[in-house]
């Protein structure tokens, strides 16, 4: 099977500021340092879509 055109990873956060703080932290870097190169986001090629609500 070929590479998927889209990959969705969904997480839940209390607010955007909390996610942003984690995303730029050493904890984020440590959690992702063992990720295979093919799964890493490539700057300029990938994007993050944020939803305020996915269900009620």
The string of pLDDT tens digits covering residues 13-46 is: 888 899 999 989 999 889 888 888 777 777 777 7
Spatial separation of the C-alpha atoms in residues 22 and 27, rounded to whole Å: 7
Spatial separation of the C-alpha atoms in residues 45 and 52, rounded to whole Å: 23
The CA R_g of the chain, rounded to the nearest whole Å, is 13
Note the pLDDT of residue 3. 63
pTM (predicted TM-score)? 0.61
């Amino acid at each position: 099977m070929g590479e998927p055109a889209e990959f969705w990873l969904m997480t839940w956060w209390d607010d955007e500021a909390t996610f942003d703080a984690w995303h730029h932290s050493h904890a984020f870097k440590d959690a992702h340092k063992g990720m295979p190169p093919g799964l890493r986001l490539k700057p300029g090629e990938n994007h993050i879509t944020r939803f305020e609500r996915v269900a009620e």
